[in-house]
Amino acid sequence: MTLLARRSLLAAAAAAPALLRLEEALAQGIAPRRGGTLQTMLTPEPPVLVLGVNNQGPTLIAASKIYQGLLKFSPTLEPLPELAKSWALSDDKRTYTFRLQENVTWHDGKPFTAEDVIFSVMKFHMELAPRARGIFSRIREAVAEDAHTVRFTLEKPFEPFLLMFDVTTVAIVPKHVYDGTDYRTNPANARPIGTGPFRFGEWQRGNFIRLERYEGYWKPGQPYLDAIIYRIVPDSQSRALALQTGQAILSQANDIEPFDVPRFRAQPNLEVQTKGWEYFSPLSWIETNHRVAPLGDVRVRQAIAHAINRDFIAQRLWFGVGKPATGPVASTTRFFDATAQMPKYDVRAATQLLDAAGLKPGAGGVRATIRHLVLPYGEVWSRLSEYLKQSLRQVGIDLVLESTDAGSWARRIAGWEYETSINFVYQYGDPSLGVERTYVSSNIQKVTFTNTGGYSNPRVDALFAEAREAADPADRQKAFSAVQKLLVEEVPQIWLMEMAFPTIHERKLHNVIQLGTGVHACFDDVFLAA
């Protein structure tokens, strides 16, 4: 107990925003109403609804209503209580102690305890998720102090540790169902069992997934909704129509194409939000292979960065859904430094840099020819590549576009068989979790979403290592600011846009986007006004 007393208890402060929201709702005269079914959509259909077994976008959206994490995160990435009602960090910054909610039951009626948490972290996700394995292998000891207290002791301090406990990264799964089985083939995967406000109801493949209110949910009186129905609608125009006619009252992620967004913004009964992706903060960039001349030359990369109008991309291609990137760290990610700015749109500066790099205009004004693998993720990405081709043509770089399919794209990026392409990567709230991997030389691997470009700079390696190992956020900020300033000079990848996805819902649906994970919240406080 003395140890506990010495720890700074953060939970009370963290709980405040949740209370505020309820007050706000009451102040507006909208008391939560019980009842009603939320009709929404899911694109594409997930293969399974067990987090960890599958962590793709659609799975995360639907399964985050069934499962919960220890914590959830505000739009500014402050941790908020979920299955953990409070938590504390020891003075040596190595021991995290979580106090768990006590009256939580699994959907099969069994009680939720500290053992479930230890099993989920140390066994389930450790085996299934490579990203979790990289972080959790730093845990020296995981102990259940009692049925509702868990203690993790790390080898070394790791400041972003708490960010790992969102449901989208580490969902807590029932030990009594999974321990000692093959997690991937466990028959219970067909009817997932979690602690969340909604339990699995019915899944007609290719048609819909129905989640129903779990009556034994640990927050009294919640959830407010009777059920959530996720309809599988493969065609984007049909989805837009469903939203327009009110057959669906919520769309999320990739459901609605950017070019349809202005139309829905004008529809008075709908609200369009682009918030709720701060935890993921996907950043898109021109993936450049440094092994290919002239892309290894920093002046050429700077010139390309100068030649591209990122405002045009955000406004004209994505219709204002997302905003222009300023550097390697998204502005919504922790330790973002606004003073580190990548080269601005300036065609004259671009041509001067190319002259300096010795790339003189040849026949037809062409200075260099670079091949470009178009990202095969749909139309807007093809348009983006066409825009880049045209922008670079203005400074004398001939971008030759190559089409491919999704499988070949991943294989060629992983195999370093490309000159340029487009890529976008989740940042998971902290540069050590989601940014470092693209730039450090120790992560030059033949695997997608590693440092496939082959950028190598000992200073950058050292600064990322320093920021990763420092226990004090102020020290981390110093190292991250330094590395951001260095990277915007070197532009190892040419950043384009901080991406967001539109969440569109009827105004009578309340409390949809409150967290930095947006529609990945458990929806226990979402309600339909009369």
Judged by CB under 8 A, the residue of 103, 237, 267, 445 near other proteins is 237
Residue 390 makes CB contacts below 8 A (sequence gap 6+) with: none
Q: Is 403 in the site for other proteins (CB under 8 A)?
A: yes
Residues 131 and 129: their CA atoms lie apart, in Å, by: 5
Site size for other proteins, by CB under 8 A? 23
Q: Is 386 in the site for other proteins (CB under 8 A)?
A: yes
Residue nearer to other proteins on the CB measure, 387 or 416:
387
Judged by CB under 8 A, the residue of 90, 333, 385, 511 near other proteins is 385
Q: How far is the CB of 400 from other proteins (least distance, A)?
A: 6
Q: Is 43 in the site for other proteins (CB under 8 A)?
A: no
Q: How far is the CB of 317 from other proteins (least distance, A)?
A: 8
Q: How far is the CB of 411 from other proteins (least distance, A)?
A: 14
Residues numbered 261-300 forming contacts with other proteins, rule: CB under 8 A: 263
Residue nearer to other proteins on the CB measure, 7 or 412:
412
Query: Torsion angle of alpha carbons 257, 263, 266, 269, nearest 10°?
Result: -70
Beta pairing class for 227-232 and 208-213: antiparallel
> Would you call 386 helix, strand, or coil by DSSP?
helix
Q: Is 374 in the site for other proteins (CB under 8 A)?
A: yes
Q: Is 345 in the site for other proteins (CB under 8 A)?
A: no
Alpha helices in 112-234 (DSSP H): 114-119, 125-128, 130-136, 175-178
Residue 404: how many CB atoms within 10 A of its CB?
A: 16
Q: Residue 249's closest CA among 33, 504, 61, 45?
A: 504
Q: Is 395 in the site for other proteins (CB under 8 A)?
A: no
Contact 31, 25 (CB under 8 A): yes
Residue nearer to other proteins on the CB measure, 238 or 339:
238
Q: Is 383 in the site for other proteins (CB under 8 A)?
A: yes
Q: How far is the CB of 251 from other proteins (least distance, A)?
A: 16
3-state secondary structure 337-385: CCCCCCCCCCHHHHHHHHHHCCCCCCHHHCCEEEEEECCCCCHHHHHHH
Q: Is 190 in the site for other proteins (CB under 8 A)?
A: no
Judged by CB under 8 A, the residue of 26, 401, 473, 507 near other proteins is 401
> Would you call 85 helix, strand, or coil by DSSP?
strand
Q: Is 402 in the site for other proteins (CB under 8 A)?
A: yes
Residue nearer to other proteins on the CB measure, 38 or 373:
373
Phi-psi category of 341—alpha, beta or left, where left has phi over 0 and alpha has psi -120 to 50? beta
Contact range with other proteins by CB under 8 A, out of 8-16, 45-53, 286-294, 375-383 = 375-383
| Tokens 């009370």 found at | 12
Residue nearer to other proteins on the CB measure, 176 or 389:
389
Q: Is 257 in the site for other proteins (CB under 8 A)?
A: yes
Contact 211, 194 (CB under 8 A): no
The pattern of x and - marking residues 311 through 330 that bind other proteins according to CB under 8 A reads -----xx-------------
Q: Is 379 in the site for other proteins (CB under 8 A)?
A: yes
Q: How far is the CB of 403 from other proteins (least distance, A)?
A: 5
Q: Is 236 in the site for other proteins (CB under 8 A)?
A: yes
Cis peptide bond prior to 160, omega within 30° of 0: no
Residues 496 and 464: their CA atoms lie apart, in Å, by: 22
Beta pairing class for 509-510 and 250-251: unpaired
Burial level of 205, CB count in 10 A (0-12/13-18/19+)?
exposed
Q: Is 381 in the site for other proteins (CB under 8 A)?
A: no
Q: Quick one: tokens of 110?
A: 């069994």
Q: Is 355 in the site for other proteins (CB under 8 A)?
A: no
Q: Is 238 in the site for other proteins (CB under 8 A)?
A: no
Give the binding site for other proteins (CB under 8 A). 236-237, 257, 259, 263, 316-317, 374, 379, 382-383, 385-387, 389-390, 393, 400-405
